[in-house]
Structure 1
Amino acid sequence: MVKRKIIQILKDSIRKYPVVALLGARQVGKTTLAKVIVGKFKKPTIYLDLELTSDLSKLDEAQLFLSQYQDTLVIIDEIQRKPELFPLLRALVDQNRMPGRFLILGSASTDLLKQSSESLAGRIKYLELSPFHLAEIGASNFQKLWVRGGFPNSFLANNDTESNDWRESFISTYLERDIPQLGFRVPSIQLRRFWTMLAHNQGQLWNASQIANSLGVSAPTAKHYLNILGETFVIRELLPFFVNVGKRLVKSPKIYFRDTGILHRLLNINSFEDLQSNPIIGNSWEGFVIEEILKILPGNFAPYFYRTSAGAEIDMVLTKSNKAEVVIEAKYSLSPKLQKGFWHSIDDLKPKYKIVVYPGNETYPAKNGTIVMSIKDIPAWIRKKLLNKNSKNRVKPTLYI
C-alpha cells in the first residue's frame, strides 16, 4: 500500500473540527483512507456508504439515527447522494460542537455541494485527496505515474494492459452512472465525445464556440459540460494571471486533465512508447508537471498561467498575495530551450523564482537565475522553498478546482 501524505493532516483536522470533508474524484482512495483513519482513533466510529441501499435507508429518519451517536465519529461516504443532510449536520453540531463528529466523503466539489458551504460555514474543514503524486510513490517512478496516472488501481496494476482496462472501466462508469447520480442529464456518448475533444486540446485555451460547433451544441451547453467535468475533479481550468503592466492579456482559461492516465486512455495511448510517438506528448508533459506541483502546493499560493497578445507566455505562475512568486515552464526535452516569450514574461512579472521542469536527472542553474529542474526534484524543492517551516501542513488546504 502507498502511504498517503494527507493522513496526518486528516487526523489533525478531525481532532480540531466538528466536520471534516474529504473530497476528490471517484476511485481516488477516499474510502480506503477513511478506513485507515478509523484505526487511528480511540473513540468509536460508524461508517455509512450511501451507495448501499441498506445504509441509505438508515438515514430515512436521519435526525433520529444520527442523534444517538454523540460521542462517535460518523463517516458518511458519497455525501453527494444525500445533500439534504447538510442542514441537519449543522443542527447536530450546534447542539454538541465537539471536534470529530463527522467525516464526510464526496466526489463532487464544494461548488456542486452548495448546501455544505451554506449550512456548515465555520464548522467544516475541507481537504482534497488527489491521485498519487511523486512525493508518495517515489520520484524514480515518474514515468509510470505520467503514463498511467495516479488513480491507485491504475498506477498499481500489474501491467499496462490491466491499467488501461481499469481506466476504460472508470471512464464508462463515470459517464454512465456517476454523472446521472449527480443529477446531470447528459447523454454519456455526447459527454465522452466532449471529453475526448478536450483531450485533443490538452493545455489549450478554452474556446467555447469552437468546441460547441464541433459537437453540434450551443456554447452555453459546452460550458455546462466543462463545468460538470471540473466539479467532479477530472478537468482543471487554469485561469490567466492579470497584472497591471499595460498589456493586452489573454482572458480565457487553459484546460488540463487532472490525471494524465485518463487523458492517455481517451487518446488510445496505451504505453510510454505510444506516448513518445504522439504529438500530444509536449502538452501531456505540461499538464503532468502542473498537476504534480498543485498536488503539494501550500494553500497560500494560487496558480495561474500568463499570456499576452504580443506572445509573452508562461505555463504556470504561482502567486502569493497577488504577486508572482514562482514561474514554471514545462519542457519535454533533455536540453530545454526557452523562447523570447518566456523572457518577456519574466520582465513583466519579476518573479522570485524561475523554474524550467524537464524529464532529465540533473538540476542545474541556467541563464539569468533560471533553474532547470528535474521533475524528480520538484517535491523536495517545494518543501524547502515554499512550505512554511513552522507549519505541519504537507498538503494544500485550498481546493484549486
Structure 2
Amino acid sequence: MYIKRTVEKSILEAAKSFPCIVLYGPRQVGKSTTLDYVFPANFNRVTLDDTEDRELAEKNPKLFLEVNPWPIIIDEIQKVPALLDAIKIKIDEQRKIWLKNNEERKLMYVLTGSNRFELQQGISETLAGRCGIIEMSSFTLREKKAMEAHLFTPKIEVLIQRSQQEKSEYLTRTQIFEEIYKGGMPDICTNVSERNIYYKSYVNTYIEKDVRKLIVASNETQFRNFISIVALRTAQELHYDEIAGAVGIDVKTCKRWLSILETSGIIYLLQPYMSNMSNRIIKAPKLYFMDTGLCAYLCKWPDSKMLENCAMSGAFFETYVVSELIKNFFSFNVNPRDYLYYYRDIDQKEIDLLYVDEDGIYPIEIKKGISPKNPTKNFNVLQKYKRQIKTGLVIECCDKIRPLNEISYSFPVYLLGI
C-alpha cells in the first residue's frame, strides 16, 4: 500500500525548473517508491545496486546513458560518481538543442542517493546549476495518519485558524510515545516488517553498505558501539571529547564519524542562535536522531511504556518534536537551518527552539507533560537581541491550542504539521 508523501509536490515543482533532480535521504525511507508513484511509466528506471548496470556505468558511462536514455530514474547514484560527468555532458548538449529549436526544457534525470557523504561533493562540483536537490526522510505523523500537511509556522493566529479546520484525532501522551517507539520507517509503519527485526537488519545494512568503506575495517565493532552511544545522547549538546572518550577513539575520528551520521541523514545537528551576542552563548550544537524508532532500538528500550517512563523520556519527546519539524521542512524543500535554532547561555538559561525569520524571534519550549510549570520562564532572555520577540509556543501533550499567559500558547504535539 502506497502512503502519500508530502514531498511529492516539491519533487514536481523542482521537475519544472531543472533538467535533473537529486533526491537525498537515508536508506529505506521510500525514495524509489515515491518516485515510481510520482513519475509516469515512460520514465526508464535503473538501479546501480544491480551489478551488471553498475559495471557498465563504471567502465563506459557514455554507453550506459545511451543504453538507458532519458527520461530516467537512476537509484543509488553515489555508487558510480563518475556517471555524474557523463550526465552533465548530456544535459549541456540537450540544452543547446532546446535553445536552438526554441523548445521548452524537460526533466531528463532523476537521481537518488542514500549516502550523501560520498555524493554531495560530486553533485556540487559537477551538476551545480543543473539540478534541484531535495531531502527526504522517514514518515511524519501526518503522513502516517494520511492527513494533509502545511509548512510549519509558529504564528499563533495561523495555527488557530488551521486547527479550527482540523479533524485529526487527539493522541494521548501514551499514544505519542507509541509513535515515538515505532518510528517512521515505511516498512514498519505499513506492517511489512516486525520492528526489532527490521532495525537490526537496518543497522547491519547501513554499516555494510554505507559506512564500512569510510572507516577502517577493524573499527566496525567500535562504530556499532559509537552509534549506540550517540543515540543515548539525543537531544543533548554535542561534546566530541566526551563521546570520543566513551567509545575509545580520538576526537578527530569522532568528528568524522558524526559527519558520516549527519550527511547520511541519521542525525541532525541543531545550531545555537548566535546573532551578535555570542560572548556568553553556548556554541555547541544539539544532537538529534532523525528517526526516534531507530534511536530507541539503539538505546535498547524494550517497549513504548518503558520508554515513556524512563529517565530519557523527555529527551525522546524533544527529539520527536524536533525531528517532526525538520522532516516537515524537508518535505517542503525548505532548509531548516535558515529558521530553527536553540538557545543556551553560560548561566544555564535555555530555550529548546527558536524560530527566527524577518518578523522576529518565536521562542518554543518542548515539554512531555500536560500544563508544565512555568515553561516560559526563560523567554525574557531574548530581549537583549533587540529584535521583536513574538508570541511563543509550548509544545506538549495537551488536547487543543490555548493561551498559557500573555506571551505564549500551549500547542498539542499531535497537531504538528497542520
Q: Which residue is 1:295 aligned to?
A: 327
Q: Which has the higher contact order (CA 8 A, sep 6+)?
A: 2
Q: Give per-residue Cα distances to partners, 1:344-375, cap 9 Å, x unaligned.
A: 33434543241110122122111122010001
- The equivalent of 2:400 in structure 1 is 362
- 3-state SS of 2:398 partner: coil
Contact 2:351 2:363 in 1 (8 A): yes
1:332 matched to 2:368: yes
Distance apart, 1:74 and its partner CA: 1.3
Structure 1 position 88 matched with structure 2 position 86: yes
User: Does the 8 Å contact 1:311/1:341 carry over to 2?
Assistant: no
- On the 8 A contact 2:177/2:305 being kept in 1, the answer is no
Q: Give 5+ residue unaligned stretches, structure 1.
A: 381-401
Once residues 150 and 288 of structure 1 are traced to their aligned partners in structure 2, the CA distance between those partners, rounded to angstroms, is 10
CA distance in 2, matches of 1:112, 1:22: 11
Amino acid at match of 1:217: I
SS of equivalent to 2:128: coil
Match of 1:15 in 2: 16
Residue 117 of structure 2 contacts residue 260 of structure 2 at CA under 8 Å; is this kept in 1?
Answer: no
Contact 2:144–2:189 under 8 Å retained in 1: no
Q: Secondary structure at the match of 1:64?
A: helix
Equivalent positions of 1:190-229 (< 5 A) are 190-229=222-261
CA distance in 1, matches of 2:221, 2:196: 19
Judged with a 3 Å threshold, the aligned counterparts in structure 2 of structure 1 residues 111 and 317 are, in CA distance, closer, same or farther, namely farther
Native 8 Å contact 1:29 1:152 kept in 2: yes
Cα drift, residue 291 of structure 1: 1.1
1:148–1:155: 8 Å Cα contact kept in structure 2?
A: yes
What SS class does the counterpart of residue 236 from structure 2 fall into? coil
Q: Which amino acid is the alignment partner of residue 137 of structure 1?
A: K
1:130 alignment partner, SS class: coil
Task: State the partner residue of 2:35.
Answer: 34
Q: Number of aligned residue pairs: give it.
A: 372
CA distance in 1, matches of 2:113, 2:312: 32
Q: Secondary structure, in 3 states, of the residue corresponding to 2:133?
A: strand
Q: In the alignment, which of 241, 266, 270 is matched to residue 298 of structure 2?
A: 266
* Structure 1 moving runs of 4+ over 6 Å: none
Q: Check the 8 A contact 1:314/1:345 in 2, yes or no.
A: no
Change over 3 Å in CA distance of 1:173–1:69 after alignment to 2: closer
How big is each residue's C-alpha offset from its partner over 1:215-246, in whole Å with a ceiling of 9 and x where there is no partner?
12111111111111111100111111102347
Q: Is the 8 A contact 2:375 2:394 kept in 1?
A: no
Going from structure 1 to structure 2, the CA distance change for 1:158 and 1:231 (only over 3 Å counts) comes to closer
Change beyond 3 A, Cα 1:245–1:56: closer
* Match runs of 1:172-321 below 5 Å: 172-180=204-212, 183-185=214-216, 187-245=219-277, 247-297=279-329, 299=334, 301-320=338-357
1-structure distance, mates of 2:319, 2:278: 29
Separation in structure 1 between the aligned mates of residue 192 and residue 177 of structure 2, nearest angstrom:
15
CA distance in 1, matches of 2:180, 2:27: 19
Contact 1:250–1:307 (Cα < 8 Å) also in 2: yes
1:48 shift after superposition: 1.2
Secondary structure at the aligned position of 2:138 is classed as coil
1:317-342 alpha-carbon deviations (Å, 9 max, x no partner): 12225x75322211000122235752
Structure 1 position 68, deviation (Å): 5.8
- What value does the CA root-mean-square deviation take over the aligned residues? 2.2
- Code of the residue aligned with 1:151 in structure 2: it is M
Q: 1:110 to 1:89 in 2, by over 3 A?
A: farther
Contact persistence 1:313–1:341 (CA under 8 A): no
Q: Quickly say closer, same or farther: Cα 1:125–1:158, change in 2 above 3 A.
A: closer
**Structure 2 alignment gaps of length 5 or more:** 96-104, 146-167
The residue that corresponds to 1:398 in the other structure is none
1:37 shift after superposition: 2.3
SS of aligned partner of 1:334: coil
How much does 1:31 deviate? 1.1
User: Equivalent residues in 2 for 1:45-124 (5 A)?
Assistant: 45-59=43-57, 60-67=59-66, 72-97=70-95, 98-109=105-116, 112-124=119-131
TM (norm. structure 2) is: 0.83
Q: Which amino acid aligns with 1:286?
A: E
Shift of 1:107: 0.8
Q: TM-score scaled by structure 1?
A: 0.86
Of residues 192-201 and 296-305 in structure 1, the stretch that sits farther from structure 2 once superposed is 296-305
Q: 1:25 to 1:236 in 2, by over 3 A?
A: same
Cα distance, 1:145–1:55 mapped onto 2, change above 3 Å: farther
> How big is the shift at 1:150?
0.7
The question of whether the paired residues in 2 share the 8 Å contact of 1:211 and 1:222 is answered with yes
CA distance in structure 2 between the aligned counterparts of 1:21 and 1:125, rounded to whole angstroms: 6
CA contact 1:306–1:345 (8 Å) conserved in 2: no
